[in-house]
Structure 1
């Protein structure tokens, strides 16, 4: 494909988004419309902002969109705690997904650092 679909952070964000959707479909979260909507939005925002930033073809803009994606990842982690506290998901489910969101956040942060240090500023500057 040779696009954002090849980025490890995007692939991980897609997996997290799928996991969240599965929770929505298979737990009582499906009936908590407000939280469900927020979690759907924040999990989707992670992968969508990575894709949009990539398509901007410039590191500065990409870093800005990665920052938004990282913030959405933090928002999703907070929402997972609310899910657990409201007993929508079990401790086991929580323990399976939370580390994935932490890893994703760290990888996005590391990717941002890499881009900041990169001498290549993006294809729109070629």
Structure 2
């Protein structure tokens, strides 16, 4: 069985959606907000997908799992920056609600993907 290209993984596509949605929001902020919280949140959100991609290209299940764990850390960091942005009135309740839906699904899919790496389906012969 061949591995999927990382671009075809739902978890990767969801990470792209999150990063792109955050980018569009931050792009509208004032310069000070972009230079402080904005850069941090964009980098952490972009890091989720980057780590999924890097892990899939490492060639071993252990390396892939390590990068998915790093992606989960980046997801947590993104949540931190979202909380800071909301508390500083940079995000509306509607924006947070929309992003939260993606965050919840992405967290679930990252955990599922992590647990599935290296699990080979059993056949009737085993």
**What's the TM-score bracket when you normalise by the shorter of the two chains?**
0.7 to 0.9
The answer as to 2:49 corresponding to 1:47 is: yes
User: Which residue is equivalent to 2:40?
Assistant: 38
Cα distance in 1 for partners of 2:38, 2:101 equals 20
Deviation at 1:14, TM superposition (A): 0.4
| Number of residue pairs matched by the alignment | 117
Moved over 2 A (4+): none
User: Which residue is equivalent to 1:100?
Assistant: 102
User: Which residue is equivalent to 1:119?
Assistant: 120
Deviation at 1:85, TM superposition (A): 0.6
User: Which residue is equivalent to 1:68?
Assistant: 70
User: Which residue is equivalent to 2:124?
Assistant: none
Structure 2 runs not aligned, ≥5 long: 122-126
Which structure shows the higher helix fraction?
1
The answer as to 2:20 corresponding to 1:18 is: yes
Cα distance in 2 for partners of 1:73, 1:35 equals 15
| CA-based RMSD | 1.5
Cα distance in 1 for partners of 2:59, 2:5 equals 11
Cα distance in 2 for partners of 1:5, 1:31 equals 34
Cα distance in 1 for partners of 2:77, 2:17 equals 17
Cα distance in 2 for partners of 1:93, 1:115 equals 33
Structure 1 runs not aligned, ≥5 long: 121-126
Cα distance in 1 for partners of 2:27, 2:61 equals 37
